[in-house]
Amino acid sequence: MRKLFWIALGATLGVLIFRRLSQAAQKLTPQGVASTIGQGLSELASSLRDFADDVRSAMSAHESELRAAAGIDAPAAILGDSSAGRASGTAG
């Protein structure tokens, strides 16, 4: 019974070690290296998109705060529309 346990344990460890080594060897092949680099570049692109989205939203929020603090109505100021000033209660 004891011998059977050690044989089963040895076989299981042998299979696990063989699978780990096979996976490591696969990563070192040209296809494995290309796959790893491709995944890394994909993750980098995704992170850059997320960063750019965060920057845009923060920039927009900050611009809105600055416009509110300065009392500037963006569409009216850009288009030179004097009716927007009357609608907001200012002389126009």
- Whether residue 42 is contained in a domain is answered as yes
Q: What is the distance of C-alpha 13 from the center of its chain?
A: 38
Amino acid at residue number 32: G
- Whether residue 83 is contained in a domain is answered as no
The whole-number average pLDDT for the span 40-48 is 96
Mean pLDDT of the chain: 84
C-beta neighbour count of 73 within 10 angstroms? 16
- Whether residue 5 is contained in a domain is answered as no
- Whether residue 9 is contained in a domain is answered as no
pLDDT above 70 for 25? yes
The whole-number average pLDDT for the span 2-9 is 92
The whole-number average pLDDT for the span 13-39 is 92
Domain count, the chain: 1
pLDDT digits (tens, 9 = 90+) for 56-74: 999 999 999 999 888 887 6
pTM here? Answer: 0.50
Inter-residue contact 83 to 92 (CB < 8 Å): yes
Task: State the residue range of the domain holding 44.
Answer: 24-69
